[in-house]
Amino acid sequence: MPPPADYLTIDVYDHPPRGPWAWSRSVKSVLRQPIAGLRSVTVNHSNHATHSLSPRSVVQPGRALIAAWDSPESALAAFRGPLAMAVQAPGRFSLDGEVARVRLEQPHHDWHGWNPSAEGSDPMSSDEPLVVVVHAIVKPKHLAGFVRNNVHAASRAAFHPGHRGSVDISSQLPFEHTSLSLWQTVKLARDYAYAPGGHAHAMQHARAAETHRIGCFLQVRPLTCSGTLGLDTDAFPDLPPAVRA
């Protein structure tokens, strides 16, 4: 029997405890040791340029820990054990979810060696809440055009009624651009993605011009959630809180 779908944990600090560089160094130090059940992990810079583009939003003050696990039990054991120092300060957004769909731009694409799995997940219905993860590494010659096109996509997300928050992360600056966006329902996320406007234009251009060296798209079913992601209201108030201790 193939292994089950990846259990994904997302933890984002706009202002990490002890400062961004000290937090990143301490987390990376812990991750040098084996951690049971951990399939993949990245330690990332983060900002909110995905929904608000300004000089303040494109600096990298935040940090994000994105991890894929074989089970929720493995994740919780790690957060209560070796990774406790990474997630037990206040002011953190945390979410757990199940990878429900994976689409790669090319069969050989991955996320820094991780091959995400949705094995055994049920298809998502149109009224479910949704997390969309788009991992992309842009070809250097297309970086300026990619950023310019995404100004329009970001502005449209900011005013879309289904948008519940988003963050842009990168573990390999400046060419990696990975976005995590939260949506009230699958239906509203599709409206944002495919209706005429900034995002649809940017997506069509990226595919036609082959602007990405790596492209990986995930739909994630959120299961637990705590905090806000760039907005003033809780992202998914109807979900149970994410447990980290």
pLDDT, one tens digit per residue, over 11-45 is 999 999 989 999 999 999 999 999 999 999 999 99
Domains and CATH numbers, the chain: 7-226 (3.30.70.100)
Burial 162-173 (b: 16+ CB within 10 A, else e): bbbbbbbbbbee
Residue 82 has a pLDDT of: 97
Q: Which whole number is the average pLDDT over 115-141? A: 91
pLDDT in tens, 215-241: 899 999 999 999 999 888 999 999 999
Residue 209 has a pLDDT of: 53
Residue 214 has a pLDDT of: 80
Burial 120-158 (b: 16+ CB within 10 A, else e): ebeebeeebbbbbbbbbbbeeebeeebbebbebbbbbbb
For the beta carbon of residue 29, count every other beta carbon within 10 angstroms.
10
Residue matched to tokens 């969309």: 132
- Taken in order 15, 45, 235, 89, the sign of the CA dihedral is negative
**The pTM is what?**
0.87
Residue 115 C-alpha from the chain's centroid: 15
**Do 220 and 97 form a contact (C-beta atoms < 8 A)?**
yes
> Higher-confidence residue: 198 or 46?
46
Contacts of 234 (CB under 8 A, 6+ apart): 225, 227, 228
**Do 114 and 68 form a contact (C-beta atoms < 8 A)?**
yes
Evaluate if residue 177 carries a pLDDT over 90.
no
> Higher-confidence residue: 69 or 3?
69
